[in-house]
Amino acid sequence: MRVSRIGLIVAIVVMVPIIIEMRTVFVHVGLDVSLAETAVIGALMIGALVLWAMAPDLRKSGRSNGEQN
C-alpha cells in the first residue's frame, strides 16, 4: 500500500465534507446537481483514492541495486 490504513481513513473522512460542499460550489457556478449525482461523484472520488492507495508503489520496486533517495 502507498499509505497506511489509518491515513487512508483520514483522507476519506476529510473528503466527505469536501464532497458535500462541492454541491454548493456547483450551485454557485450555475450547475444543478442532484443528491444522487453528488453521491456518484463522491463514490468515484473515494474509489479513485482507494485504488491509488492499494496500487503497488512502482518507485520502490524498480530499484534492484539497493539505491535510495
**pLDDT at 43 (0 to 100):** 96
Binned at pLDDT 50, 70 and 90, residue 59 comes out as: confident
Amino acid letter, residue 39: A
Task: Write the CB contacts of 57 (distance below 8 Å, at least 6 apart in sequence).
Answer: 2
pTM beyond cutoff 0.75: no
Does pLDDT of 67 surpass 60? no
Q: How confident is the model at residue 51 (pLDDT cuts 50, 70, 90)?
A: very high
pLDDT tens per residue across span 2-40 = 888 999 999 999 999 999 999 999 999 999 999 999 999
Residue 50 DSSP symbol: H
